Amino acid sequence: MLPVDILRNFHLNNLERREHIRIYNMERRIMRDNSDPFALRDEQFIGLFRLSKEMVQYVYNEISPHLNQTENVIAIPNLLKLLVALRFFASGSYQSCIGQSYNLSVSQPTVSNIIKEVSLAISELSRNWVKFPRTAEEKNRIKGRFMSQTHFPGTVGAIDCTHIAIITPQDEEHNYLNRKGFHSKNIQIICDYDLKILNVNATHAGATHDSFIWRHSIIQEELERWYNLGDRNSWLVGDSGYPQQCYLMTPIIDAAPGTPEFAYTQAQMRARNCIERCIGVLKGTFRCLMAERKLRYQPQKVGHIVIACSVLHNIRMSGHQNLEEILLPENHNNFDYFNNHIDVGGMQARADLIERYFN
pLDDT in tens, 72-101: 656 788 999 999 999 999 998 765 455 445
Domain boundary among 123, 147, 168: 123
Mean pLDDT on 186-192: 98
The confidence score (pLDDT) of residue 309 equals: 98
What is the distance between the alpha carbons of residues 50 and 29, in angstroms, rounded to a whole number? 25
Q: Which of 252, 227, 254, 222 is nearest to 240 (CA)?
A: 252
**Domain assignment of residue 299, given as a range:** 126-357
Q: Which of 166, 64, 190 is nearest to 125 (CA)?
A: 64
**Which band of pLDDT confidence, cut at 50, 70 and 90, is reported for residue 7?**
low
Judge whether 8 lies within some domain.
no
Residue 25 neighbours by CB distance under 10 Å:
14
Same domain for 256 and 200? yes
What is the distance between the alpha carbons of residues 11 and 3, in angstroms, rounded to a whole number? 12
Domain boundary among 123, 149, 168: 123
Judge whether 23 lies within some domain.
no
Q: What is the pLDDT of residues 233-269, one digit of tens each?
A: 999 999 999 999 999 999 999 999 999 999 999 999 9
What is the pTM assigned to this prediction? 0.85
Same domain for 104 and 185? no
Same domain for 141 and 278? yes
Judge whether 103 lies within some domain.
yes
Q: Could you tell me which residue, 190 or 68, shows the higher pLDDT?
A: 190
Same domain for 313 and 350? yes
Same domain for 178 and 77? no
Same domain for 197 and 237? yes
Q: Which of 113, 161, 163, 126 is nearest to 297 (CA)?
A: 113
The confidence score (pLDDT) of residue 323 equals: 53
In the chain, the number of structural domains is 2
Q: What is the pLDDT of residues 280-297, one digit of tens each?
A: 999 999 999 997 778 989
Would the pLDDT of 28 be above 50?
no
CA 170 to each of CA 113, 166, 299, 307: distance values in angstroms, whole numbers, following the listed order: 19, 11, 9, 22
